[in-house]
Amino acid sequence: MNENMHFDAIVIGGGPAGMTAGIYLSRARLRTLVISDGVFGGQMVLTHEIANYPGVESISGYQLSNIMKKQAKSFGCTIKSNLKVTDVQAEGDVKSVTLEDGSTYTANAIILTPGGRSRTLNVPGEDTFKGQGISYCATCDGDFFTDKEIVVVGGGNSALEEAVSLTKYASKVTIVHQFDHFQAFEYAVEEAKANPKINFIMESVITAFHGNEKLESVDIKNLKTGVVENFRTDGVFIFIGYVPNTEFVKGKVELNQWNEIVVNNDMATSVPGVFAAGDSTAKRYRQVTTAVGDGTVAALAAAHHIHQMKSKRLQETLTN
């Protein structure tokens, strides 16, 4: 085994969960590799301002991710970015991770933190105005739209519950939904309909986003009539589902019907020595703070697993 290619633990994913795991593992003097298929920070870097991270009054997602990365490196964590994982061999005491550049690394424990992505509309202007009027997180960005008129897209529980929560800030919330009925629970529908700040545009979809430096309006198409109207708005919140980045571990660990990684209270997956944390796991709430908490638990559990393996090997050596 090439010592330069072997680590105590490999963390796959460079968001807040992955970087927290890297910090804890490397500070525990465990040889740790963190791999990210893009820039470090995950969904966090899309957030213009984080104002609900305990102990920090206000910071951008990009700044916070850089601090986390610097911390991990200061404790000796090896970091590789912009490299896609092509294969994971999770079974056995020694696991392996192969990257798109052909290199293969081995470890005694793996922590999966690939995160996820909000489902997008995939219409013109969406990429342009992400973070400039388009948001996928009410908790993160709601207060930036105080006394503004905004649009919420979606018809499930998340869309309606977040629309109600956004009325704490916005002067008017318009829900745009493609069907003539909602998929949410009745209590969520009733609460939204009872809120005087909320209006509804049903059987309609957004077909384009417009603006200069920030979002100024959207095109809304009525699916019954085919008529497209331009609708002025200060912001759009999109809640049409969440997609975990777990394609590369299908068939490797247990996933639920939404392709989220199933974990127990120690963030352990169905495979011994493989843990998972953050937005790719089966959970209700997805925040930077919950991801950090997950990463902490996963790292501590992985460290315990690694130490148990080392103790077992030592006992076997002494016995022989």
SS3 labels along the chain: CCHHHEEEEEEECCCHHHHHHHHHHHHCCCCEEEECCCCCCHHHHHCCCECCCCCCCCECHHHHHHHHHHHHHHCCCEEECCCCEEEEECCCCCEEEEECCCCEEEEEEEEECCCEEECCCCCCCHHHHECCCEECCHHHHHHHHCCCEEEEECCCHHHHHHHHHHCCCCCEEEEECCCCCCCCCHHHHHHHHHCCCEEEECCEEEEEEEECCCEEEEEEEECCCCCEEEEECCEEEECCCEEECCHHHECCECECCCCCECCCCCCECCCCCEEECHHHECCCCCCHHHHHHHHHHHHHHHHHHHHHHHHHHHHHHHHC
Tell which of 238, 253, 281 closes a domain.
Answer: 238
Identify which of 42, 242, 227, 286 has the alpha carbon closest to the alpha carbon of residue 154. Answer: 242
The Cα 43–Cα 320 span in angstroms is 50
pLDDT value for 172? 98
Q: Are residues 102 and 208 in the same domain?
A: no
Which domain CATH number covers 63?
3.50.50.60
Q: Are residues 113 and 127 in the same domain?
A: no
Ramachandran angles phi, psi of 307, nearest 5°? -65, -35
Domain that holds residue 78: 3-117+242-319
pLDDT value for 314? 79
For range 48-64, the mean pLDDT: 85
Q: Are residues 75 and 166 in the same domain?
A: no
Res 242 pLDDT > 90 = no
For range 96-123, the mean pLDDT: 94
pLDDT band with cut points at 50, 70 and 90 for residue 43: confident
Q: Are residues 110 and 78 in the same domain?
A: yes
Q: Are residues 113 and 125 in the same domain?
A: no
What pTM value is reported for the model?
A: 0.77
Res 318 pLDDT > 90 = no
Tell which of 219, 238, 257 closes a domain.
Answer: 238
Q: Are residues 207 and 265 in the same domain?
A: no
State how many domains the chain has: 2
Which amino acid is located at 122 in the chain? Answer: N
pLDDT tens-digit readout, 130-188: 989 999 888 778 999 999 999 999 999 889 999 999 999 999 999 999 999 998 889 99
Helix axes 157-166, 186-194, angle to 10 degrees: 30
pLDDT value for 51? 80
Question: Could you count the other beta carbons within 10 Å of the beta carbon of residue 99?
Answer: 16
HSE at residue 10, side-chain half, CA atoms within 13 A, is: 25
pLDDT value for 146? 96
Tell which of 238, 259, 285 closes a domain.
Answer: 238
- In the predicted model, what is the mean pLDDT of the chain? 93
Res 2 pLDDT > 60 = no
Q: Are residues 139 and 194 in the same domain?
A: yes
pLDDT band with cut points at 50, 70 and 90 for residue 57: confident
Q: Are residues 202 and 189 in the same domain?
A: yes
Q: Are residues 24 and 74 in the same domain?
A: yes
Q: Are residues 194 and 264 in the same domain?
A: no
pLDDT band with cut points at 50, 70 and 90 for residue 60: confident
pLDDT value for 3? 55
Beta bridge mates, 89: 96
Q: Are residues 137 and 232 in the same domain?
A: yes
The Cα 67–Cα 65 span in angstroms is 5
Q: Are residues 8 and 102 in the same domain?
A: yes
